[in-house]
């Protein structure tokens, strides 16, 4: 064997690089790799693959237990990382390679080491739906050696819950909620989300139902003071919105700017959700901190179908905000001629003047929306001093 290793060393330009060739990564030859290691290959050789990952990280990511065992036998460090800060343990856990995970933990890999995004192996396993890896990592001896690069188990568990919830992994969510250290309303220390807010934001209806059944507060907000209902509405997740309303989510719970779910739906143009919220008793003429109603928000964003829906459902077409602007002013500034036409046909005040003395025509001219200007002139809008000044 020594003679073979000597021969391999003489005929190889770089024995370390030879271990990590593409062919050997995807179809490892353990016997030849051992000869290369005996010939002096570096077990911590840094490749140009997977973000300049060391050899151990590469083979851990691919789930090659024999190659991982070989590298560990020759002294590979379990603490080396790629350019994203991912250790071999993180990469193996991400891919769900249970046997490699057990090898690395047995070799002393730190369980709480995080990558550049602040996520440890447990969180990656939970996010990718690997319950067996999650269970194993939780049951292992968790010790923090470097507080700057590692998280403790309690923090990792809360992050894992949010990560699993974000991807709709109900089974892992259920498993984690059975642990005393995990709170259904706890925050992910990095994202500021709770399991319920992130699952609502991502459209995971079953996870939302599970969390609320297991005691999550349906009115709880994330660190940005956004509730699960607001997030589901914003992203257009009708099924999640319906489920949350069935479970008695407050239909008027607003964000820091005073925007209710109905206003958010109007601003995003989600007509089906607008109908759902109105059917559940949402106040169609409620105003936010600046006095804008749902109709004003729909006009501001140019959501024509939302404008039509809200008017058909009885929205006040001439409701003024704190600056004196009515929905027609917002539509004129936004520049959608169809929205302007709908408002005018339904009785919007053509000559309304806001607190700055400006009319809808003045705003259309100021924003250079020629089709809207033409609509106003065809309707008989007057040309006052401000109009000429704007022009």
Q: What is the pLDDT of residues 165-175, one digit of tens each?
A: 999 999 999 99
The whole-number pLDDT of residue 1 equals 55
Mean pLDDT of the region 338-342: 95
pLDDT at 250 over 80: yes
The whole-number pLDDT of residue 13 equals 62
301: Cβ contacts below 8 Å, ≥ 6 apart: 266, 267, 268, 269, 334
Domain membership of residue 232 (yes or no) is no
Domain membership of residue 83 (yes or no) is yes
CB crowding 3-23: b at 16 or more within 10 Å, else e:
eebeebeeebeebbbbbbeee
Domain membership of residue 339 (yes or no) is yes
Domain membership of residue 238 (yes or no) is no
Domain membership of residue 33 (yes or no) is yes
Domain membership of residue 246 (yes or no) is no
pLDDT at 47 over 80: yes
The whole-number pLDDT of residue 383 equals 78
Band of residue 388 on the pLDDT scale cut at 50, 70, 90: confident
pLDDT at 145 over 90: no
User: Closest by alpha carbon to 263, among 315, 205, 208?
Assistant: 315
Show the domain range for 55: 1-151
- Please identify, among 118, 151, 184, the residue that sits at the C-terminal boundary of a domain: 151
- Please identify, among 126, 151, 176, the residue that sits at the C-terminal boundary of a domain: 151
Higher pLDDT, 330 or 389: 330
Domain membership of residue 244 (yes or no) is no
- Indicate whether 288 and 146 sit together in one domain: no
Q: What is the pLDDT of residues 352-384, one digit of tens each?
A: 999 988 899 988 998 899 999 898 888 887 877
Q: How many domains does the chain have?
A: 2
pLDDT at 84 over 50: yes
Domain membership of residue 215 (yes or no) is no
- Please identify, among 123, 151, 179, the residue that sits at the C-terminal boundary of a domain: 151
159: Cβ contacts below 8 Å, ≥ 6 apart: 119, 120, 122, 123, 151, 188, 189, 190
Which CATH number does the domain housing residue 335 bear? 1.25.40.20
The whole-number pLDDT of residue 7 equals 47
Q: What is the pLDDT of residues 2-31, one digit of tens each?
A: 545 454 555 556 788 888 989 999 999 998
């Amino acid at each position: 064997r020594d003679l073979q290793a000597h021969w391999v060393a003489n005929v190889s330009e770089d024995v370390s690089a030879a271990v990590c060739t593409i062919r050997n990564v995807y179809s490892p030859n353990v016997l030849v790799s051992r000869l290369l290691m005996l010939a002096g290959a570096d077990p911590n050789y840094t490749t140009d693959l997977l973000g300049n990952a060391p050899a151990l990280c590469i083979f851990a990511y691919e789930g090659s237990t024999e190659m991982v065992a070989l590298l560990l036998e020759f002294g590979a460090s379990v603490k080396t990382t790629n350019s994203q800060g991912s250790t071999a343990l993180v990469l193996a856990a991400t891919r769900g390679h249970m046997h490699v995970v057990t090898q690395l933990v047995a070799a002393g890999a730190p369980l709480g080491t995080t990558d550049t995004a602040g996520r440890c192996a447990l969180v990656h396993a939970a996010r990718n739906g690997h319950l067996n890896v999650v269970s194993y990592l939780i049951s292992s001896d968790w010790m923090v050696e470097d507080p700057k690069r590692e998280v403790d188990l309690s923090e990792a568990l809360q992050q894992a819950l949010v990560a699993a919830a974000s991807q709709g992994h109900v089974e892992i969510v259920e498993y984690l909620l059975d642990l005393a250290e995990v709170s259904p309303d706890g925050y992910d220390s990095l994202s500021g989300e709770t399991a319920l807010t992130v699952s609502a934001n991502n459209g995971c209806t079953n996870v939302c139902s599970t969390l609320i059944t297991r005691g999550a507060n349906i009115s709880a907000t994330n660190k940005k003071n956004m509730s699960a209902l607001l997030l589901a509405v914003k992203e257009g997740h009708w099924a999640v919105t319906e489920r949350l309303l069935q479970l008695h989510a407050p239909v008027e719970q607003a964000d820091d700017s005073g925007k209710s779910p109905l206003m958010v739906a109007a601003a995003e143009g989600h007509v089906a959700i607008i109908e759902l919220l109105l059917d559940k008793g949402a106040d169609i003429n409620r105003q936010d901190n600046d006095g804008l109603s749902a109709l004003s928000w729909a006009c501001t964003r140019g959501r024509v179908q939302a404008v039509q829906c809200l008017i058909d459902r009885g929205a006040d077409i001439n409701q003024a905000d704190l600056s004196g602007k009515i929905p027609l002013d917002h539509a004129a500034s936004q520049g959608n001629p169809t929205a302007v036409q709908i408002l005018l046909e339904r009785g919007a005040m053509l000559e309304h003047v806001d607190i700055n003395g400006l009319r809808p025509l003045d705003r259309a001219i100021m924003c250079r929306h020629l089709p809207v200007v033409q609509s106003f002139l065809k309707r008989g809008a007057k040309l006052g001093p401000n109009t000429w000044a704007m022009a």
